[in-house]
Structure 1
Amino acid sequence: MQRITITLTDEIAEELDLFMAQSGAGNRSEAIRDLVRRALATRPDAPPEAPCLAVMSCTVDQSVRNLGARLAQRRLDTHDRTVAALSVPLDHTTSLEIEVTRGTLGTLTRAAEAQFLERGVAHGALALIPVGHDGPRHSHTHPHGAHGHEHGHEHSHTVVQTSFRPGPPDAS
């Protein structure tokens, strides 16, 4: 075993003590070991290059110096992965940030973990959705409004998979 030292906010320490009482852990070390073990067990068993969608949410304390600017710049730097982003003001200083992104499991997980480690970011959650593609890129034509002529666009279809294990696309 290795001994480590951590610093917790008073609120997290109180929550940890409550978890200890409810779980039967004999001390904080046992409780933290259990929580870490559970968190590690929830990580998907998939290669980092597996394609996925991610829904990341967290609260952001906008009063933390330059935090809002850093997070906005991070989003701009990765604009090609962003599908949608929403910022919901909760009170005078706190917002709920929600992002839907696409990419590889490794890239999206690292990005979320980096954001969750920022001072002023709390309640981070990441949902990962395994995806594949239904065939190669192709094009369609469709009418263009009242202009009376057609325009085409090229795309591929994203298909949600049931797991990160390789296999044929789901028929659902």
Structure 2
Amino acid sequence: MGKTVRFGVSLDEKLLESFEQLIQQKSYMNRSEAIRDMIRASLVDEHCQAEDQEAVGTITLVYNHHVRDLSEKLTEHQHSHHDRIISSLHVHLDPHNCLEVLVLRGAVRDVKRIANELIGVKGVKHGKLVMTTSGEEL
């Protein structure tokens, strides 16, 4: 971590009040921590917009495992991307529904493409991709 630099910020009073409420809700120790966190989040979002950047993503899938051949199709997709999928977690939510979380690493375009393939498999009830960076540049 580099040298800490102090700087001033001017805010409208109502905006500052809202910011103070956010700080309290999220249990930040002080304004500086909250601002650092917001800057990092913005930098991560920007990083994940560049298709050629290296990223890490989690894909969360919810599906009914009784749907014909669905489990096999999802497993096939995962095996075809074994070089990008670095971990998986399978949870039985109830007698019919499963939750699967996959962790991927690769170029943003590849992670998005794989997520779209998996989420688009017929029978998947819900899916979501969350992307981030390895944190090296933060």
Which residue, 41, 61, 66 being the options, matches 2:64?
A: 61
- Unaligned stretches of 5+ in structure 2? 1-44
Residue 110 of structure 2 is aligned to residue 107 of structure 1: yes
- Unaligned stretches of 5+ in structure 1? 1-41, 132-159, 162-168
Higher relative contact order (CA closer than 8 Å, sequence separation 6+): 2
> Residues 105-144 of structure 1, C-alpha deviation per residue, up to 9 Å, x if partnerless?
111111111211222112211110123xxxxxxxxxxxxx
Distance 1:43 1:70, change over 3 A: farther
> Residues 65-106 of structure 1, C-alpha deviation per residue, up to 9 Å, x if partnerless?
111001111111111112210110112221000011101111
The number of residue pairs the alignment matches comes to 94
Specify which structure has the higher proportion of helix. 2
Distance in 1 (CA, whole Å) between partners of 2:47 and 2:120 is 20
Q: TM-score, normalised by structure 1?
A: 0.50
- What's the counterpart of residue 157 of structure 1? none
CA RMSD of aligned residues (A): 2.0
Q: Helix, strand or coil for the counterpart of 1:46? A: coil
Specify which structure has the higher proportion of strand. 1
Residue 113 of structure 2 is aligned to residue 129 of structure 1: no
Runs of 4+ in 1 over 2 A off after TM superposition: 42-47
Residue 123 of structure 2 is aligned to residue 120 of structure 1: yes
